[in-house]
């Protein structure tokens, strides 16, 4: 007990910085080798070190000597065998701005990538005049809607969205539900709007998008099968003939607003009762 107490007392700022740097370097290393040949090699090296340490503890001197000599030669062999992977990894590290990015920069990049994937999918579907209905879950949960379709649980990507809506495929009818950066489900059934004053030009997808927007705080993107026109519904209202730049701005504003609301709720949860009462 005293050992751990003394250890923590002797930890300084430099030690913490040292540990953080090593942790970041290991994280970057594992990110580079993940799902590559080098990942299996790394597992083998770790196992090798474990065996060497065990043989040393058990005083198996012959085995320990063989393992140590093998590791010495093995380092050179690894450098030769995995020279292309090492070069590629160092080039990636050199190009990376990981150490100069703030958390806000990383979040903004992720959001922009997500928005671009959705906009690219909508633009492609529009050019091909392929009907589509994409619903974005916000504060109001859509679990009951998700259960009417087929669960996907896949990261948002333009290729996945386009493939879902390709005609004559099992999931092309119905709506796709997206929460944050996850496609939760496809081929979901939505309630139709009860508004009787809508233009007859609006088909079932548009009426379904309006119907769900009247019942929750969602935002929906609709691509017309007849004209390829892109529409957006929100709060029971529809905006038609949206271009891709406008769609990108709408989605960016939606995600920015969502993040601000989440930060506000997190800050609210961290306040004590007295602070909450003062604000109220």
- pLDDT, one tens digit per residue, over 181-191 is 899 999 999 99
- Residue 161 tokens, joined: 């969205």
Q: Which of 11-15, 192-196, 236-240 has the lowest mean pLDDT?
A: 11-15
Return the pLDDT at 43: 72
Structure tokens that stand for 120 in this block: 């690219």
Tell me 217's DSSP state: S
Cα–Cα distance for residue pair 141/235, rounded to 1 Å: 15
**Token digits for 12?**
């300084």
> Residue 29: its pLDDT value, please?
67
- pLDDT single digits (tens) 209-223: 999 999 999 999 999
Q: Which residue has the higher pLDDT, 9 or 190?
A: 190
Residue 77 CB partners (closer than 8 Å, separation 6+): none
Give percent of the chain above pLDDT 90: 43
202 has pLDDT over 60 = yes
Residue 267 CA to residue 135 CA, distance in Å, equals 28
pLDDT at 244 exceeding the cut of 90: yes
Exposure string of 94-113, with b = 16+ CB inside 10 Å and e = fewer, is: eeeeeeeeeeeeeebeebee
Q: For the whole prediction, is pTM greater than 0.75?
A: no
> 19: buried, middle or exposed (CB in 10 Å: 19+, 13-18, 0-12)?
exposed
Greatest mean pLDDT among 28-32, 71-75, 178-182, 199-203: 178-182
User: What is the overall mean pLDDT for the chain?
Assistant: 81
Task: Order across the sheet with 132-137: list the strands.
Answer: 150-155, 182-188, 175-179, 132-137, 219-223, 230-234, 237-239
Structure tokens at 266: 């997190």
Q: How far apart are the first and last CA of the chain?
A: 47
Closest-CA residue to 8 (of 19, 173, 245, 144): 19
User: Which alpha helices (H) appear in 96-185, and where do they start and end?
Assistant: 103-128, 143-146, 158-165
Q: Which two tokens stand for residue 84?
A: 């292309």
Lowest mean pLDDT among 37-46, 114-123, 133-142: 37-46
What is the Cα–Cα distance from 173 to 149, expressed in whole angstroms?
10
What's the DSSP call for residue 271?
S
pLDDT band at 37 (very low <50, low <70, confident <90, very high): low
Domain architecture of the chain: domains with CATH: 2-99 (no CATH), 105-267 (3.40.1700.10)
Residues 76-133 have pLDDT tens digits of: 766 676 666 666 666 665 655 554 455 556 667 788 899 999 999 999 999 999 999 9
Closest CA to 251 of 232, 236, 237, 238: 232
């Amino acid at each position: 007990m005293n050992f751990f107490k003394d250890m923590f007392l002797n930890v300084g700022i430099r030690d913490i910085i040292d540990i953080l740097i090593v942790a970041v370097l290991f994280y970057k290393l594992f990110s580079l080798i993940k799902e590559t040949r080098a990942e299996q090699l790394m597992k083998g090296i770790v196992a090798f070190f474990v065996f060497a340490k065990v043989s040393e503890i058990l005083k198996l001197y012959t085995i320990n000597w063989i393992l140590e000599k093998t590791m010495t030669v093995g380092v050179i062999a690894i450098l030769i065998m995995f020279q292309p992977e090492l070069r590629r990894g160092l080039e990636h590290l050199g190009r990376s701005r990981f150490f100069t990015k703030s958390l806000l920069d990383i979040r903004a990049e992720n959001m922009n990538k997500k928005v671009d994937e959705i906009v690219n999918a909508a633009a492609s579907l529009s050019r091909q005049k392929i009907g589509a209905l994409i619903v974005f879950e916000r504060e109001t949960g859509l679990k009951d809607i998700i259960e009417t379709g087929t669960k996907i649980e896949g990261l948002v990507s333009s290729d996945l969205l386009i493939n879902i809506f390709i005609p004559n495929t099992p999931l092309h009818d119905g709506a796709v539900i997206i929460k944050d950066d996850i496609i939760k489900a496809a081929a979901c059934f939505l309630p139709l709007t009860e508004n009787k004053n809508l233009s007859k030009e609006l088909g079932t997808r548009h009426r379904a998008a309006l119907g769900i927007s009247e019942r929750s705080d969602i935002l929906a993107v609709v691509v017309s099968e007849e004209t390829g026109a892109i529409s957006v519904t929100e709060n029971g209202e529809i905006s038609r003939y949206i271009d891709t730049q406008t769609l990108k701005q709408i989605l960016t504003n939606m995600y920015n607003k969502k993040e601000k609301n989440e930060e506000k709720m997190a800050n609210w949860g961290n306040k004590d009762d007295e602070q909450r009462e003062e604000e109220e």
